[in-house]
Every structure is written in structure tokens, then in C-alpha cells.
Amino acid sequence: MSAIPAAMAANEAPWKLPSRGRVGMLSLIIAESAIFTIFVAAYILYIGKSISGPTPRQILSVPIFITVCLLSSSLTMHWAVAALRKGKTGSFALFWFATLALGAIFLIGTGREWHHLISQEDFTIQTNLFGTTYYSLVGLHASHVLVGLIALAIVMILALLGKVKCEHWERCEVLSLYWHFVDAVWVVVFTVVYGLGR
Amino acid sequence: MAIPKSSRGVVSEWLFTADHKKIGLMYIVYSLLFLVIMGIEAILMRIQLAHPHASFMSPQAFNRLFTLHGTTGVFFVAMPILFGFGNYLVPLMIGARDMAFPRLNAFSFWMTAFGGFVLYASFFAGGSFLQGGSAPDVGWFAYAPLTSTTYSPGHSTDYWTLSILLAGVGSVGGAVNFIATILCMRCPGMTLGRMPLLAWMNLVMGGLVLVTISPLTAAQIMLMVDRYMSGHFFDTAAGGSVVMWMHFFWIFGHPEVYVLIIPCFAFVSEIVPVFSRKAMFGYPAMVAASVGIGFVSLGVWAHHMYTVGMPSYGNAFFVLTTMIVGVPTGIKIFNWLATMWGGKIRFATPMLFCTGFLFQFLIAGLTGIMLATAPFDWQLSNSYFVVAHFHYVIVGGILFTIFAAFYYWFPKMTGRMLNETLGKWHFWIMVIGFHLTFDFMHIPGLLGMPRRVYTYEPGRGWETWNLLSSIGVVFQAAAVLIFVYNMIQSYFKGAPAGNDPWDAWTLEWATTSPPPDYNFAAIPEVRSRRPLWDIKHPEDPDWKYE
Amino acid sequence: MTAQHQSNPAMHSAPEHVALPAPTAWPAVLALGLTLMAAGLLSTNIVSVVGIALSLVAGVGWARQVLPHDRHEMVAVSAAPVQIATPHRKVTRMAAVQAAPHRARLPLEIYPISAGIKGGLAGGVAMAVLAMFYGIVSHGSIWYPINLLGAIVYEHIDVSTAQVEAFHIELLLVATVLHLATSVLVGLLYGAILPMLARRPILLGGVFAPLVWTGFLHSILDIVDPILNQRIDWWWFLASQIGFGIVAGLVVVRQVRIPTWQYPLAARAGVETPGMMDEENNHS
């Protein structure tokens, strides 16, 4: 009997399965997308429904610079993982740091925008329906950027300690999936908040 | 970092375990505890409703009981018990040693568990315990603006929101784990086309959890923003919309029914072939129907909202999609019947419960089609007819198959058989109780009795039916008591099960009962959908025909 | 059936130790921390602070469990081979007994589907002839029964006898379609039922069944369609029904029979069944 499996193994292709890290992260991304979908839907359906001012056009300015920063961080992230895959830990650390820095600039930019809105325009989450949806949607995205930055920082520290090696490229790639997702969500949020809603 | 296994205390053996079987059992025991709690809540409500003008409890206590009964049933009984069985069975059935992310698995369990504890902590906060403390009282779907701080001051609604948020994190973690396990941990030869249907349906369930629990999480975050930060999402005075909450809740709420029923379909799909002694009829159709239900169920939510008012094309769309869900469901029922057809059926207790399920789920589906028809629903929305319908699904469908799963897999989990005689008593008393309660509950609904009323006037023709419903609960409670007694008695004194007591065909029966920590000494290799058939019938294995 | 005493052959050779994830408290502690963070919203902020602290500690602890490598424990594998055994096996395969079926499945022979269709068509012709003969005898017009049949699909309006006796092309078409369809369907039914009638199939199928059918129609037609009922001569109706039955039956029984499958689906599908083995001694 034990000969049968061996005979079969010759007929069939070698047994390969998808990586659990990648599948797990993609599943998480699907779940996160569903959350964002609901927030984006609420934002779109509530456009122009506020009973009192201010309106988006009066107070929002388009954050071009930080958007460029965040989107280009996807590119540096890609290069970082590609470098690690080839075993170039030095350029990995460099690109990884660039990603971290660009992400941090984005987060600081969002923080400055909020600070301006709250202290100068006296516009908070309680002001009107627009305020509620705006701070919730942008805040939800910013919190995802923050989580991503913390994860990036941990890997950065490990890389500086010299503990990130070529064999870890797959784990880093899983993390990069999350980062690309956060960037893609910003494209949607940006279009909805600063394009459609303004 | 290899640490040799040493003898451990019960705390690190169980509470800190990362083993999928122990986590599965913790899920199951946890949800049985909550099953008893929600059962007691149901009994209390039925006592109050047995007679008109009863004063067994205050209206406030009644509101709290039905809120907790519903919330507990969905989030802390049905979901965890199905996650528990899935956790226990999926790795065994696909020939893996553990789930893909064992620690995430433990985390998911504890999030779910703490969620339930937070919900019930509300009993002990503020107010008297017998009046429900400050337990939530907004109903299980908590329509806005009832949940606003104006109408729901204090923290009662926050307990509800936070417990569901916490449990939601656990559910999503569990779903991610199921998907990764099923896609990435299969043993050699276990292609997607050879996977047991239980694994397939848990995969679909996992996918549905990802896209249904998350909208609920989003809606709960919005509610938190409204309540804690004075936001305006559901505040009509600021231009917000309460209908938005309904949409968001039911975008979760209806697919959730399928999150619960699809793993139950999985139990039936494993049990019916074994007790009919025939391979599952229409395996590919079964897989396709499960995936189809998953997708279509995402587009039916507003059939809960016909009475809210929609444009006629909205009504027509949701009537149509809801009817379409009936098609793959019908395919499944026909496949189970075709599996039984011509087979040599053995009516052991698991099969009895599955047979009961087939009848009851059919009726539940038919009343579902009735309610999916907008004009009919305009008449009966929010009546006891609806309550009877979804209890037909949840008790007659889900609970019956969960009982079947207990009788079928208890031997594998403990190494001992459940007592068959007690099992048959359990089944028949449960059937009598179920039909007494829920068959007759349709009638006051048709006669106009609204749900969620704490009492009612005599002389409307509702008294007899309500009394009969309440009497049925006595039978159901007795059946559950028999079941609990059977489990305790059999755990200690049941007949030894052996490794394969049912002469079954899937991999979980290819290891010892209970399985060792590592599941399989050597990872099995499969060549057909029924690997154990191949081993038992080397002269005529299935793989010859694949 | 020796399979139940066999160890699983489709396994790779077993290792001596298996690496399994070690038990860890950190996931549970992290869950507790997050719960306390939430509970702070229900009570006081201090609870949330404790929750945040606990979550941070647990997060670090968890990270140290999996970074840079997952922490494992080695579990010794039991050397004893696993028997895939059913203690009281109650079933065996029916395939083994296909050579000698233990019970005949009735009927042993059936008519092919074409027999029913042929019988139905022949019976239909006989019935039509009888009905038109009745039309000539009683009203001097072969269209009378045809119009009555065709008029079933129309709203009930009272018409004169002269109108019913006249020729109407659309009624002729409707009546022809109805008559052919019904004749074929009833013929199929006859083909299926006749082999099951043990004796005198022609008497039962050709006389008895039309009698019952006519009686049934006679008792309800006054309620269903009183206008039509007034125009029907029940003896002639019965005669044409019997004519159909006898002719259809005679045609059907003249067709060649085909033997039925003596093995049930279960046997053909290799299904297992109890009652075919010595269950006491647990082998077949």
C-alpha cells in the first residue's frame, strides 16, 4: 500500500500552497476595505446635508504636498523590499527609512491641517455633519497610517541592529502590502474629501 | 528557540494555549455557558408573555432581556460555537497540525470572550440587578435615534457597542485565520476540489465575516463618535439620517444570518453522507451554491427595511435578490435529499437532528420567501410572524445542526460516545418543544401581535397561541437539560468511541480520539474527497474515478 | 473486509518530534488590555490607562514570541501506529452481492416511454372518433364535441346550440392541441402503470379507471363549470373514455417490454448497507 502515494507523487506537480502571511494580510485588507467603504459611503451620502456651516469649500485646502509624499512612499517601500530580496540590506535600510520619513511627513501634515482647522477656523467634529464625517474618515485613515508607521519603525530599529536579513524579505513584503493598501485608501479618501465633496 | 514540552498547570495548559483544539473547545464551552444564559432569558420572557396583562417583570426589564437575548444569541452563542467547531475541525479535516496563526487564534478567542463579559458586566453596573442593572435596552439592532444620548442616557448602550466592537475584532481575527488556514495549510494532495465541504463552507464563512462584521464595526465606531464626541452621524437635527444606521446595520445583519447558517450547512454536508453511506451528491454544485449564497447575500439587506419606504425599483431589486438567494439554498436541500436518496440511512442521533433540520429549514426558508415579498412584509413586518420565522432559522436550522455536530464529533473530542438513548429523548422532546413554541408563534403574528411588546390585551385571539408557545419552552428547556446531562455523564462514563466510531471518510477520523497535540504523527496525503474510504477499500478506491 | 484493522498507509513516515507553537499568555493579556481600554469608557479613565499599559506590555511580549523566529515546543510523537478502526462496524458494501440480488425489484419489466406515447395517440384517435360519432348522432355535426373541448379555455358565455354546432377554426386548433397533449400524457401514465397492475390490466386501466374518472368529473363539473356541464351527455362521455382506455391499453401491451435494473441505485453506486454481514462477529 505504501507504494501508492509514492507512485502518485510522480504523476502530480509538487505540492505548493500560497504563503499564509500574504493570504492573512490580504484577508485583513479586505476587512479594512469594508470598514472604509462604509465610512466613505457615509461621507458621500452626507455631502451637502449639513444644516449649518462651514462648508468644505470655505475651509479645506487641497493637501497636495503630503499626498505626493504618501504616494511616493509606496515606491520607496517597493524598492526597499526588492533590495532586501536581493540581499542588499544597506539599501533596504535606506529605502525603508525614506518610507518611514515620507509617512511621518504625511501624518505631521494631517496633524497641522487639523490644528489649523481647530484653532484657526474653530471647526471640530461637533461643529456640523461635515465636521463629523470629515474628522472620522480622515482620522480613520490617519490612524491606519500611524499603525503602519509604528510597524515600520519596529522593522527600522531591527534593521539598524542588523537583525533584518535576506530571509525576512517575505515578512517585509507582507508589511508592504498593508502600506500599499493605506496609500490606495488615501487616493479614495483624497478624491472623495477634496474632489467630490468640495 | 525550542522548549521541550513539560508538564504544565491547567492555566498554561488551557488559558494560554495556542492549540487549535483546545481553543476550539474553549469557544464551545464558552458559548454553551451563554446558550444557557440566553435560554434563561427566553424562559423569563415567555413566562411574562404566557398570559395577557402579566406582571411578572417590568417593561424595562423585558426590554433589557430581549436586547440581551438577541445580542447574546448572535454574537456570544452562535458565532463562537461555530468558530469553535471550525477551529477544532478545519485543521484536522485538511490534515494540518494547527491553524495558520495559532497565537492570533488565541487572541481572537479572548477578544470574543471578553466582549461577552463586558456585555454582561452591564447587569452589575447601576440600578438593581433584577431590573437588569444598566443592561442595554435598545433591541439587538438598536435603531437610531433610540441609541442617541438623549434617548439612551448613561452607559447602557455603550456596553452593547463596546462588547460588539471587541467581539468583532475577535471575529475578524478568526476569519482571517480560517481563510489562511484553509488556503495555506492543506496537506499534500488536498486540492480545493478535494477539500471536505466543511472546509469549503468555513472558507466562505470566513470571507463573509470579513465583509460583514467590518461594516458593523464601522457603524459602531460612528455610534461611538456620536455618543462620546457629540458627532452627528445619526443626528437628524444636524442633517444626519437614522435610515443610514438601518442600512449599515443590515448590510451586516443579513449576511450575518449566512455567516451563521453556512457552517451549519457544513455540518449537515458532513453528517448526511456518512449516515446515508453514500458520497455527497453534487459536490461541485454544493461548493458553487455556498459561494453563490455568499455573494448574493451581500445584496439583500434592505428587505429588512420595506416598511421604511423605498422607491419601487428599490423594493423590486431587494425582492428579486432575496428570492434569488433561495435558489442556491434550494440546490443544497436537493443535494442533501439526493444524497439520502437510495442510500442506506442510519438514524443515529446526529442524523436525526440533520433530518429535523431539513424539514424545519425548508419551512424557515418558505416563510423567508413570504417575508421577502414587499407587500406581504408591509403587513407583517415587526410582528411575531417575523420572530417565528427567524427563530425557525436559528433554532430549527442552526441549533438543531449544532446539536447534530455535538453528537457526531463529541466522540472525536473526548474519546467517548454520547448516549444514544438520551440523544433520542433529547431529539424528540426538542422537536416537540420547538414546534409547540415556534409553529404557534406564527399565528399571533398573522393576527397582528407586534414583537418586543412586554404584554398584550386579552380578547385579540392571541392568548392561546402565546400560552402554547410558552408551554413549548418547557419542553425545549427539558431537552437541553437532557443534553447537558448526557454530555457530563458521557464525558466520564460514556462508551469508548474508538478512532472512527461512525465509519466515516474524512481525515479527522484518521487520528486518535481525542487527537494528540500534533494531530497526525505524520502528515497524511490524500488522493480523493474521501481519504478514509480509499484506506478502507483498497480494492475500489475513490481516486480511480477522479 | 479487513480494512478496519489497517493502519493508515497514506502517511509519510512519522518524525520523532513535532514542533508546535508554545503556549503563551500574551494574546490573552493583549485582549484583556484592549478590553480594559474599552471598559475605561464605561467607568473611569484610570481603567483605560491600565488597559493601554497592559496592551503595550503584551504587544512587546507577543512580538518577542514571534521575532525573529516563532517560539516552539517540541512534542514527542507517540510511536504506536494509529488504527483507523470502527469498533462495531455495521455495514458492508452491496457491490459484493451484485451477482445474486437478494430481492427482486418490481416490476421486473417495464414498457419503454415510446409505448406510452403510441398508446396515448392511438387512444386519442379512438376517443375522437367516438366523440365525433356522438356529435353526428345527437346534433348532426362533428364540430359539437370539438367546440365543447376548445371552449374550455374561453370565458364562460352562454351561446346558442347552433353556434356550438358550427365550425370554428380557432376552437378546432385549441381542441386539437388540448386533445393531443392530454392523450400523450395519459398514455405515458398508462405505460408506466400497466406493468404494475398484476392482473387484467385492460379491465383495470381501460374500464375501471375511466369509470372513476368520469364519476369524479361528473360530481364536480357542476361546480367548476355549470354551463359546460349542461351540454355534456355523460353516457357518451363515459363511452369515449372507455374507448380511449381500451385502445391505449391494447396498443401499450403489444409493445416490447424492457427489463428493469435489478440492482438499486445504492448497489450500483457502491453504497454500504447494514444487514448483509455477520454483525455479531464483525466481519462479512
pLDDT tens-digit map of B247-280: 999 999 999 999 999 999 999 999 999 999 888 9
Q: Could you report how far apart the first and last alpha carbons of chain C are, in Å?
A: 7
Q: Judge contact between C14 and C88, C-beta under 8 A.
A: no
Same domain for C127 and C61? no
Preferred mutation among C7, C67, C70 to probe A, highest tally of A CBs within 10 A:
C67
Q: Provide the pLDDT for residue B7.
A: 58
Overall average pLDDT of the B384-395 stretch: 96
**Residue A8: closest C-alpha in chain C:** C10
Q: Which pTM value belongs to this model?
A: 0.83
Total domains in the fold of chain C = 2
pLDDT higher than 70, residue C265: no
Q: Could you report how far apart the first and last alpha carbons of chain B are, in Å?
A: 43
Q: What are phi and psi of B393, to 5 degrees?
A: -70, -50
Nearest to B239 among A32, A39, A51 (CB): A51
C-alpha torsion sign, points C271, C277, C282, C283: negative
d(CA B201, CA B207): 10
Q: Is A31 in Cβ contact with B172 (below 8 Å)?
A: yes
Q: For cell 456651516, name the residue.
A: A53
Residue C270: inside a domain, yes or no?
no
Q: Is A5 in Cβ contact with C10 (below 8 Å)?
A: yes
Residue C5: inside a domain, yes or no?
no
What are the tens digits of pLDDT across the range C201-232? 788 888 888 899 899 999 888 887 788 888 88
Which of B421, B418, B398, B419 lies closest to B410 in space, CA to CA? Answer: B418
Q: Provide the pLDDT for residue C100.
A: 55
Return the CATH number of A76-198, one of 2.30.110.10, 1.10.3720.10, 1.20.120.80, 1.20.1740.10: 1.20.120.80
Q: Provide the pLDDT for residue C261.
A: 74
Q: Provide the pLDDT for residue C104.
A: 67
What separation in angstroms does the CA of B123 have from each of B39, B63, B190, B438?
17, 13, 48, 29
| C30: CATH | 1.10.287
d(CA B395, CA B40): 15
Residue C220: inside a domain, yes or no?
yes
Q: Is B244 in Cβ contact with A15 (below 8 Å)?
A: no
Q: Where are the domains of chain B?
A: 23-518+527-534
Residue C283: inside a domain, yes or no?
no
Cβ of C178: how many Cβ atoms within 10 Å? 14
Q: Provide the pLDDT for residue B541.
A: 84
C3 interface with A at CB cutoff 8 Å: no
Which of B35, B177, B166, B165 lies closest to B106 in space, CA to CA? Answer: B177
Q: What are residue C278's DSSP bridge partners?
A: C283
Same domain for C193 and C142? yes
Stronger pLDDT, C136 or C276, i.e. the higher one: C136
> Quick one: what percent of chain C has pLDDT higher than 90?
27
Q: For cell 478545519, name the residue.
A: B90
What are the tens digits of pLDDT across the range B153-163? 888 999 999 99
What separation in angstroms does the CA of A94 have from each of A33, A178, B192, B397?
30, 20, 42, 58
What are the tens digits of pLDDT across the range A16-25? 899 999 999 9
The residue range of the domain holding C65 is 17-76
Which of B395, B398, B406, B396 lies closest to B350 in space, CA to CA? Answer: B406
Cβ of A169: how many Cβ atoms within 10 Å? 20
What are the tens digits of pLDDT across the range B341-352? 888 889 999 999
Q: Which class for B117: exposed (0-12), middle (13-18), buried (19 or more C-beta within 10 A)? A: middle
A10 interface with C at CB cutoff 8 Å: no
Q: What are phi and psi of A172, to 5 degrees?
A: -65, -35
Within 8 A of C67 by CB-CB distance, chain A residues are 158
d(CA B518, CA A137): 45
- In this complex, which chains have at least 3 CB pairs below 8 Å with chain C? A, B
> Could you say which DSSP state residue B411 is in?
H
> Could you say which DSSP state residue C205 is in?
I
CATH architecture of B23-518+527-534: Up-down Bundle (1.20)
ipTM: 0.93
Same domain for C50 and C115? no
Same domain for C131 and C222? yes
Those residues whose C-beta lies under 8 Å from the C-beta of residue B512, and which sit 6 or more positions away, are: B415, B499, C82
Q: Is B535 in Cβ contact with C10 (below 8 Å)?
A: yes
Same domain for C192 and C59? no
Which pairing describes strands C72-76 and B2-4: parallel, antiparallel, or unpaired? parallel
> Could you say which DSSP state residue B416 is in?
B
Q: Provide the pLDDT for residue C1.
A: 34
Stronger pLDDT, A5 or B236, i.e. the higher one: B236
Instruction: Quickly list H helices, chain A.
Output: 3-11, 20-45, 56-59, 64-85, 89-115, 129-160, 169-190
pLDDT tier, B6 (very low <50, low <70, confident <90, very high otherwise): low
Cα B368 to its chain centre, rounded Å, is 17
Q: Provide the pLDDT for residue C94.
A: 65
pLDDT tier, C2 (very low <50, low <70, confident <90, very high otherwise): very low
pLDDT tier, B166 (very low <50, low <70, confident <90, very high otherwise): very high
| DSSP H or E run through C20 | strand C17-21
What separation in angstroms does the CA of B478 have from each of A44, B373, B414, B474, B482?
53, 37, 24, 6, 6
Q: Provide the pLDDT for residue C274.
A: 65
Beta strands, E only, C25-111: 72-76, 92-93, 109-110
B344 interface with C at CB cutoff 8 Å: yes
Stronger pLDDT, C162 or A108, i.e. the higher one: A108
Nearest to B16 among C25, C269, C272 (CB): C25
Name the 3-class secondary structure at C278.
Answer: strand
Within 8 A of C38 by CB-CB distance, chain B residues are 118, 162, 165-166
